[in-house]
Amino acid sequence: MFKRASKRKISHVRRLRRDATEVEKRLWWKLKELNAQGFHFRRQSPFKAYILDFAEHEAKLVVELDGGQHGEPAQLRHDAERDAFLASQGYRTLRFRNLDVLENIGGIVERILEELGDFRERPPPDPSFATLGTDRPPHKGGGEP
């Protein structure tokens, strides 16, 4: 399904996860609550040439958090190119400012749920995996699948 990321990229992803900003941590806690409801958001998820802040690959939804640098012309062009590429792969991208997470995280979660649409109505996860804290079988070989 996905091409394996290089060791260098995996190392970078692990560093991004370890050094997450306070805003990223806050949103991640909310997305983990959605994961408990049967979704499968991943953070700092490698996808092709990019690392996605948060992604629900089955629903093809990407959530990006934008700091102040995202208002700069060069960054706006980069974000537009990235979003267009993701759209060409069937993904929808939601972008939120860091300030939005701090001031209205509930509204952000509602917007994410709206975008997930019919995925909200999926059957619940297999209860046999409930003791593992995930709706997927354990991944062999360590690390995230």
**Domain boundaries of the chain, sorted by first residue:** 7-124
Give every strand in the sheet of 50-56, ordered side by side: 41-47, 50-56, 61-66, 92-97
In angstroms, rounded to a whole number, what is the distance separating the alpha carbons of residues 36 and 124?
10
Confidence grade of residue 123 (pLDDT, cut at 50, 70, 90)? low
Report the SS3 class of residue 43: strand
- Mean pLDDT throughout 111-139? 58
Q: Give tens-digit pLDDT for 11-35.
A: 756 776 676 788 999 999 999 999 9
Query: Is the pLDDT confidence value at 106 over 90?
Result: yes
pTM over 0.85: no
- Mean pLDDT throughout 37-61? 93
Q: What pLDDT, on the 0 to 100 scale, is given for residue 66?
A: 87
- Phi then psi dihedrals of residue 75, to 5 deg: -70, -40
Give the fold, CATH level 3, of 7-124: Endonuclease; Chain A (3.40.960)
Q: Are 16 and 51 in contact (CB under 8 A)?
A: yes
27-41, 63-77, 116-130: the lowest-pLDDT one? 116-130
Q: Give tens-digit pLDDT for 93-104.
A: 999 999 999 999
- Mean pLDDT throughout 102-130? 75
Q: What pLDDT, on the 0 to 100 scale, is given for residue 93?
A: 96
Query: Is the pLDDT confidence value at 55 over 70?
Result: yes
